[in-house]
Amino acid sequence: MAKAKKPTKTKTASKKKAAPKKFYGSGGGGVPRGYWKGHIRLSLVTFPVELYAAVTETRKIRLHKLSRETGERIHYKDSTESEGVISKSDIVKGYEYEKGHYVEIEDKELEKLKVESNHTIDLVQFTDIRTIDPIYFDKPYFIAPDGDIAMEAYVTLRDALRESGKVALGQITIGGRERIGAIKACGKGLIIETLRYNYEVREASKYFEEIDEDIKPNKDQVSLAQQLIKSKSGKFDPKSFKDTYQEGLLEIINAKLAHRKAKLPKTRAEPGNVVNIMDALKKSLAQSSKSTKTKKKTKAKTPAKKTKKAA
């Protein structure tokens, strides 16, 4: 059987080969569309707001499955082993209650479960954010005032939350489901984070059952560990953490487009098990101190920028 030929590429009119464009990942700048429109209500005070997704997946590089022979994208169709491809009208959802046994659930039954879209967030409680375990936080959304009419009430709530150190709790309907929402001050504005329900979070204690409560660490080791923590303490800067997988994948794509070899960082060796914790802590602390001194020397050598005198 003859092999399928790869699709021929259209040649450009120019004799010179155009330099391949760098691929930086999908997604662009600008403010995205509003995700949700409604009102925030605190007792008798109500004002209109609009929600915007605070995180994005668009900058992530997505890979597709292709045919090695033709370079064409592979598409999958809904099928079963006995019937082959199934039409959409013959597909139904199901819950597997035993291996290979399902309860069929119709779309119209699921529609009945959807909460009628309530476009008002009633603030029913205020609490200290430290009382909410971070494991419950799910998705963040920016809250913007919807028009000038909302501005006064909006900034009043923002400043009241900031000065009291509290977050406002309420429920918001998103995608036909009610979610718990925690509203807090965020810079010049407000942000709401949806919270997971209690049943969505696993009980932590069963994962720590094998940890013996009677085991007490050496006080000197704890002291050294605290010194190490102090030497590495600083403000969280997300820009200082690199997504090495994303950057490496981007380099591979750009290298292939430019017909060159990819320049990838060397992989780190897997760390071995620590035999003597005290020795390991002392060495770590010494390395950390050395690194801090080097950084200070580098800063000292950097010449200060000259300021221009006003004319």
Phi, psi dihedral angles at 205 (to 5 degrees): -60, -35
Four-residue CA torsion sign, 244, 245, 248, 249: negative
Residues of the chain with confidence (pLDDT) below 50: 1-21, 23-28, 307-311
What local confidence, expressed as pLDDT, does residue 248 receive?
Answer: 87
Q: How far apart are CA 245 and CA 201, in angstroms?
A: 28
What is the Cα gyration radius of the chain? 28
Read off the pTM.
0.69
Place of tokens 């592979």: 74
- pLDDT tens profile 166-225: 999 999 998 888 999 999 999 999 999 999 999 999 999 999 999 998 888 888 888 988
User: Which tokens is 255 given?
Assistant: 């290298």
Amino acid identity at 63: L
Q: How far apart are the first and last CA of the chain?
A: 82
What local confidence, expressed as pLDDT, does residue 303 receive?
Answer: 57
Domain range 36-58+114-200, CATH architecture: Beta Barrel (2.40)
Amino acid identity at 197: Y
Q: How far apart are CA 62 and CA 130, in angstroms?
A: 36
Asked if residues 153 and 47 have their Cβ atoms less than 8 Å apart, the reply is yes
Report the half-sphere exposure of 170 (CA within 13 A, side-chain side).
20
Asked if residues 142 and 186 have their Cβ atoms less than 8 Å apart, the reply is yes
User: Which tokens is 45 given?
Assistant: 């005070």
Helix extents (H) in 117-215? 151-164
Q: How far apart are CA 264 and CA 252, in angstroms?
A: 8
